[in-house]
Amino acid sequence: MKTRILTLVALFFAASATTFAQSKQIDTKESNVNWTGYKVTGQHEGTINFKSGTLEFEDGKLVGGTFVIDMASINTTDLSGKSKQSLDGHLKSDDFFGVATYPTATLIFKKVVETDDNVYRVAADLKIKESTSRVAFDIELEDDSAQTTFKVDRTKFGIKYGSASFFDGLKDKAINDEFDLAVSLKY
């Protein structure tokens, strides 16, 4: 009888100590990534689509995430006609993202720390082309959505075209090394 009671008590404590893990797929149609690239004479803006994505939770707290970006979906939104086609094509070319060879980019959360209610500081590995680099950002969750913004240094992924950090004499043709991403997730 004593053994049964001890077994029941042990099972009760084991059950109450168990964490509740949950994986939530993002809605790729409702989630979006907006990019802004800068040059000496101005900037360009556009979108890029998710191929897939998952946020990981334990006991209601964000603990991880994995995302795949469809690089072939790069789309310039501030231009039209031939100018738009030209920039879209150039961004997809080997000068920039080489989407024929590298059709996807990935972002994998490596460390997640809650800094405020529903706000988390994330360190993640971003892989573009053959290179992986660590990025950090704050992500805010509300209801079934999340938002974040962060900068990416393209030169860390071997994308040096038009970079004044690598080429002299570019003057007003120089393109900034960093671009901005504004991400909105629905899950």
Segment 2-53, tens digit of pLDDT: 555 545 455 555 555 567 999 999 999 999 999 999 999 999 999 999 999 9
Alpha helices in the chain (DSSP H): 2-17, 81-92
Encoding tokens for residue 113? 């720390």
From the candidate CATH numbers 3.40.50.10420, 1.10.10.10, 2.40.128.110, 2.60.120.10, the one assigned to the domain spanning 20-186: 2.40.128.110
Separation between Cα atoms, residue 96 and residue 161, nearest integer Å: 7
pTM (two decimals): 0.88
Q: Are strands 175-186 and 32-39 parallel, antiparallel or unpaired?
A: antiparallel
Separation between Cα atoms, residue 113 and residue 143, nearest integer Å: 19
pLDDT tens digits, one per residue of 64-78: 999 999 999 999 999
Separation between Cα atoms, residue 50 and residue 187, nearest integer Å: 13
pLDDT, position 174: 96
Alpha helices in 19-93 (DSSP H): 81-92
